[in-house]
Amino acid sequence: MRRLLAVTLLLPALAGCGSGTDDYCGAVKDHQEELSDIVGSGEPDALLRALPVFRDLQGKAPDDITDEWQQVVGRIEALQEALDEADVDPRTYDRDHPPEGVTAEQKARIDAAAKELGGGTTLRALQDLDQQARDVCQTPLTL
């Protein structure tokens, strides 16, 4: 019985040691500097510019963090879609003074998408992803 209990307790830890985790950790390390540069730029469109990196990490992520990656990538994609539909440049968009031609509905979609992206659920997912990278890969997502 003790052996069965010990094996049961070790299975989750062993599952994290496979090539899937190795691929993911390799991708985290490969993208770390690029992601640091993008996020550290302070540009208003930084998360949008980081989307290809996030998609790559999402595609290589172990099963236990797919929900977090879906939350982050999904919220960034929703904002990108809202901005694209309004045909506005995220680097220059000013919600208080939207460009001429942006309808109230488009502005509301952009506002809603930005609120979701900056909301607690998405921020928590980003924190969890960074913590997982630190714990499993021994490296943070950014420098």
Name the pTM for this structure: 0.82
Q: What tens digit of pLDDT does each residue of 90-137 get?
A: 999 999 999 999 999 999 999 999 999 999 999 999 999 999 999 999
Q: How many C-beta neighbours within 10 Å does residue 45 have? A: 18
Tokens of 36: 């640091």
Tokens of 108: 């509301």
Alpha carbons 29 and 24: distance in angstroms, whole number? 9
Q: What tens digit of pLDDT does each residue of 64-83 get?
A: 999 999 999 999 999 999 99
Tokens of 64: 């236990």
Instruction: Supply the pLDDT for residue 142.
Output: 87
Q: What tens digit of pLDDT does each residue of 53-67 get?
A: 999 999 999 999 999
Q: What is the DSSP letter of 63?
A: G
Q: How many C-beta neighbours within 10 Å does residue 7 have? A: 10
Question: Is the pLDDT score of 11 beyond 80?
Answer: no
Question: Is the pLDDT score of 2 beyond 90?
Answer: no
